[in-house]
Each structure stands twice: as C-alpha cells, then as structure tokens.
Chain A
Amino acid sequence: MANETIYMIDEIVTRPGHGRAFLDAYMKSYAPGAANRGLQLDRVLVSPPMWLEDQPNTITATWTVAGVPAWWAMTISGRTDPALAQWWADAGLWIAERKRSFASAASDVEALSDV
C-alpha cells in the first residue's frame, strides 16, 4: 500500500428543477471546506447535461485523496464539525436522494486490500 488514490463519489439526485441551485451551493459553500480537509475536486458531472425545470438532475462529484492515512485525516477532521452534517441537512431543500461511496482504480484493489 503506497498512497493509492482514493476517490470519494457524491451522487446527488436533485428535486425537480433544483439541479443548478444545488450545484451552486455545493461549489460555493461545501467545496471550500472539503478542500480544506484535504480533498481535491476531480470532476463534477451533470446528467442530463442541461438544467431540467420539471424533473431531477443527477450530479456526480468526484473527489480524490492520496492514500488511506490521508483519507482518515480527512474524515476525522470533519467528524467533529456539526456544521457539516447541518450543511447536508439544509441541502435537503434541493436533494431527493443521495449516495456517497469510496473507491479506487481497479488496479489498486489488491494493494489496498493487502494490509
């Protein structure tokens, strides 16, 4: 194991017509704190690639962090900040459902599991 890239993937299905508002808030008021915790924004995808007015958009934001120790440092630094959980609670205004998952490149699976 040698600081393999860990991906944090947020997949958000917005309430109909709220895709752009959610992404604006995510980038303006969530992303800076995530960067301060050690995450690097890899990409943000919007599906379908237009802002729907009467249907949901699905927004997929992918972040990276270098290695498992850095992953722990990232998550622990946010765990005692009640503002983070509150941010997501407040964002419920725009969110129909969301998932968060952690992943690696397929080529890193063996190394990450060999601990």
Chain B
Amino acid sequence: MFKITKLVTFDPVASARDRAAIVAALQAAGASRAAACLVAPVLPGVYFGGDIIAHFQFENQAASRDFEALAASALALPAVSHIDSVEYAGGKGASSDPLPSGGVYRTLLLCVSPAAAPRQIEQFEAEMAMMPHYIPAIRNWQLSRTVRASGTQNWTHVWEQEYSGIEGLMGPYMMHPYHWARIDRWFDPEHPDWIVDPRICHTFCAFQKAII
C-alpha cells in the first residue's frame, strides 16, 4: 500500500465548528479517494503529535494523486496552524491481528541524520523491526521510509504500530528493556550511536478498525 499521513495542528483559537468541518472534509476525501483511512483526534500524551491524525492508504502511489488536491483544499484554512506530512510506500511489517474490538494506532515520524551511513541506517531499521518480536503488545506494525515529507523536519521514516489499548503503548512498549536499553540509543544525542534527530512526532489515536 501507499500511505499518506498528516498530523494536523489547529490554531488554538479555531472554533469547534471549523475543526469539525476540517475533520469531515478529510474523511470525505478519504472515503472518495483512498482504499482506507483513519481520521481521528489524538489522545492525551502525544509529543508534537498534532490535534488530529489523518492517515490514508492507496493501492499505489498513482492512486493517491487525485487525493492530494482534495486534502490540500480541506487543510488550506486559517483554522490549521501546522501540518507534518509524510508519504510512503509501506515497508517491512506484519498485520496479522484484526483487533476486532478496536485499539490504539500510534505513529512516530522521525528524521535520520543525513550524515548517517547506510550501514547504520540498515542496522537501525533491522533493530526497530525486532521490537514486535520482543514486545508482543505491538499487535500490528510497519516501518517505512518516506518518499516525500514536509513540516518541522524532512521526515525520513514512519514507525506505525497498533495496540489493543493505550496500556500496551504506555506499558510494555515504553517499559521493555529492548526499547530503553537497546533501541533508544539511536534517539539519544548523548549516545555514540545517535542518528535520529530528537525532534520527533509521537502521536496516537483510538481506532475502531485496524488499519495497518
């Protein structure tokens, strides 16, 4: 699948009506052009995560082209103050759990330093892809390289996961030693292996139907 994700931040003075209209316009754009979409308010605890996650999937990149104009129109309003956007072909992942009772979708936008060697990036990706092996609370996941990005950073990667509930993200994901004692070094400017800019977008929302 080809995917587009937009983390939309509203102007703090934007009215509830304007916000709802933008969400509705994005949902309509997704319904008319995308194979699947998730447009939902973020949950408390995000870090530069925006106010809503707008995530869209297409059969291929060509199928996404009509969508971009619709999305741009929906978002070109004073009520929108900032957008972090990524476009990417889905990378390595697994999505075997349909999570029929719903759950939490989490996405991380990150920017690997242009100075990082290809070998380092491959090792980083390989270690990230092992997180679901060590942390079973990650039910579905995908790690992808972007083909286009905009916003605060030139985002290079998208790390998506689905959990059966928020406790999976806040508990096992954050507390497992494979995360903090192994993976996190890539994100730590103090660590000699550091390659990921500390300015990330960490965001999550509830879903009724799994989308990864």
A residues with a Cβ closer than 8 A to B are 1, 6, 68, 71-72, 75, 78-80, 82, 84-85, 88, 97-104, 112-113, 115
Distance between Cα atoms of A112 and B179 in the complex (Å): 12
Output the nearest chain B residue to A78 by Cβ-Cβ distance. B190
Chain B, 185-198, contact with A by CB distance < 8 Å: what is the 0/1 string? Answer: 10111111010001
- Which are the 7 A-B pairs with shortest beta-carbon distances? A85-B189, A102-B181, A115-B175, A115-B172, A79-B198, A68-B175, A115-B176
In the assembly, what is the distance between CA of A104 and CA of B180, in Å?
12
- A1-B175, A115-B175 as given contacts; A68 in contact with B180, CB under 8 Å: yes
Evaluate contact between A84 and B192: CB separation under 8 angstroms: no
Chosen A-B contacts, 27 in total, with CB atoms closer than 8 Å, are: A6-B181, A68-B174, A68-B180, A71-B180, A72-B174, A75-B184, A78-B190, A79-B187, A79-B189, A79-B198, A80-B198, A84-B189, A84-B190, A85-B194, A88-B190, A88-B192, A97-B192, A99-B192, A100-B185, A100-B190, A102-B180, A112-B177, A113-B176, A113-B177, A115-B171, A115-B172, A115-B176
Within the complex, what minimum Cβ distance (angstroms) separates A45 from chain B?
A: 19
Least Cβ–Cβ distance between A107 and chain B, in angstroms:
14
Residues of B within 8 A of A104 (CB): 177
Q: Which residues of B contact A82 (CB under 8 A)?
A: 189
Residue of B nearest to A108 (CB): B177
Q: With a CB–CB cut-off of 8 A, which chain A residues contact B180?
A: 68, 71-72, 75, 102
Given A75-B180, A78-B190, 6 more contacts at CB 8 Å?
A: A6-B181, A71-B180, A75-B188, A78-B189, A88-B190, A101-B181
- B181 with A100: CB separation less than 8 A: no
CB-CB < 8 A to B171: which residues of A? 115
* Identity of the chain A residue whose Cβ is nearest the Cβ of B173 in the assembled complex: A115
* Shortest CB distance A114–B (Å): 9
**Distance of A65 from chain B, by nearest CB (Å):** 11
Q: Are A85 and B181 in contact (CB under 8 A)?
A: no
Q: How far does the Cβ of B50 sit from chain A's closest Cβ, in whole Å?
A: 19
* Interface residues as binary, B106-130 with A (CB distance below 8 Å gives 1, 0 otherwise): 0000000000000000000000000
Min C-beta distance of A39 to chain B, whole Å: 11
- Name the residue of chain A whose CB is nearest to the CB of B188: A75
> In angstroms, how far is the closest chain B Cβ from the Cβ of A78?
6
Q: Is the beta-carbon distance between B184 and A98 smaller than 8 angstroms?
A: no
The contact of A79 among B172, B176, B188, by CB within 8 Å, is: B188
Please indicate the chain B residues that have their CB under 8 angstroms from the CB of A84 in the complex: 189-190
Give Cα distance in the complex from A88 to B188, angstroms.
12
B150 nearest CB across to chain A (Å): 23
**Chain A residues with CB below 8 A from B185, complex form:** 100
Residues of B within 8 A of A79 (CB): 187-189, 198
- Say how far B180's CB is from chain A's closest CB, in angstroms: 6
Interface centre among B171, B175, B181, B190 (most CB of A within 10 A): B190
Chain B residue contacts of A75, Cβ below 8 A: 180, 184, 188
